[in-house]
Structure 1
Amino acid sequence: MAAVVIANPWNARYAHHQIERRRAGAMGDDSKARRLQDERAELERRVRAGEWLKIGLAAKLLEIGRTTVHRMLDNEKIGYRWTPNRTQRECDPADIVRLLDERRERQVGKSATPPSE
């Protein structure tokens, strides 16, 4: 008798985004991978121009979950303002750019470290 494993998406957090990216690259579905890159490039252009992003868009740009963005707003790692009807928060573009640059520095630093002799 085979055991059946049921994946619980609530525990998986946002791992499905990573799986989609890997699957798109591995299966040669360049159009989906390119579309994701184009969306992020457009979001980055908008935020660098000073546009305040809603939480979902900031999460997509930073490649993290919306819950993580909420936590960062609550912990004041990202500044925010309320929308005019006070129902949603918008992320400060300066903080989003800072986080993007920090992440890129870490990624470059990891790949640029010389091998130990």
Structure 2
Amino acid sequence: MKSFIAAYQPAEADGDGDEDGEGLGKEGPRLGTALPVLRGFLLVLIFSITVMIALSSLGVNIGPMIAGAGIFGLAIGFGSQKFVADMISGFFYLHEDAFRVGEYVETDEGKGVVEQI
């Protein structure tokens, strides 16, 4: 899966573009930021499905496990509302293209180049 997603990963910038990343094209840096998030999500999803299928084939009743996981997920969701709000804000930053990997950013708390989102 890593090599499949890496095939769509844009090439690293070699300094030919300006500091806003316009020399890279609009979609290149956005894909470079979003693909690692997608890869992590797919890895967890595939691993979870694989474990459930393996347990089911061994004769374990996975119905209660799925229901328990749903209740556990709901409890974790209520407990981590701030984290979920930050994740949703992050997706809006990606969608609105507020900043990209490789751009120089200044905030009240610091300044530097965005290395990873």
TM-score, normalised relative to structure 1: 0.25
TM-score, normalised relative to structure 2: 0.25
